Amino acid sequence: MNKKLIAIMITLVVLILIGVTIILTYNSKEKFYLENSYYNKGGLKDITTKEIDKLIKDKKSFVLFTYNDFCSFSVPCDSVFEEASNKLNITILQIPYRDFKKTVLNKKIKYGPSVIIVKNGKVVKFLDAEKDDDKILYQDVKKFNAWLSKYIYTEKEKK
């Protein structure tokens, strides 16, 4: 009798853990809103390492472009991302990769350039400069905007 009860309890705990994992995974893939101040402006805005760390600590949601002073792409990706942000009317924060390496986000993103989507202080998705599938997103405004729009709402929340 005790063995059956223990087996049932273990099964219930495992099922609860699986359920929680599924819920957390599902929620992280839902579209979300950025902080209101990033809507209706567009363009790239310079930010410091201290400001990034504060945004993370305060659990803010934003998009960050970290760039190198050199670019090997045929079209400079900063112009692609600036045009994209202007078309979507969303401000994208930007920082040189040499400074970005001093932020807490550098634990996850090891290469630049990159665009990082942050929800409530946690990285949701980022462009990987070493990944072949991501390279087109650095060069094509429409494809980049489609990628970004999968994760964030591109219009400010109506209240």
The domain that holds 114 is classified in CATH as 3.40.30.10
Helix 77-88 vs helix 141-149: angle between axes, to the nearest 10 degrees?
Answer: 60
Say if residue 136 is in the same domain as residue 117. Answer: yes
Number of domains in the chain: 2
The model's confidence at residue 155, banded by pLDDT at 50, 70 and 90, is: confident
Q: Is 101 a member of any domain?
A: yes
Is 97 in contact with 66 (CB distance < 8 Å)? Answer: yes
Question: Do 1 and 72 share a domain, yes or no?
Answer: no
What is the spatial distance between Cα 145 and Cα 137, in angstroms, rounded to a whole number? 8
Q: Which residue range forms the structural domain that includes residue 8?
A: 1-30
Q: Which is it for strands 122-126 and 114-119: parallel, antiparallel or unpaired?
A: antiparallel
Q: Tell me, what's the pLDDT at 44?
A: 94
Whether this model's pTM surpasses 0.85: no
128 and 56 within one domain: yes
pLDDT tens digits for range 23-82:
544 444 689 999 999 999 899 999 999 999 999 999 999 999 998 876 665 556 788 999
Q: What is the pLDDT of residue 63?
A: 97
Tell whether 16 and 77 lie within a shared domain: no
In this structure, the answer to whether residues 13 and 43 fall within a common structural domain is: no
Q: Please check whether residue 145 lies inside any domain of the structure.
A: yes
- The reply to whether 67 and 22 lie within a common domain is no
The answer on 41 and 23 residing in a single domain is no
The pLDDT value recorded for residue 69 is: 72
Contacts of 90 (CB under 8 A, 6+ apart): 34, 38, 39, 41, 42, 63, 148, 152, 154
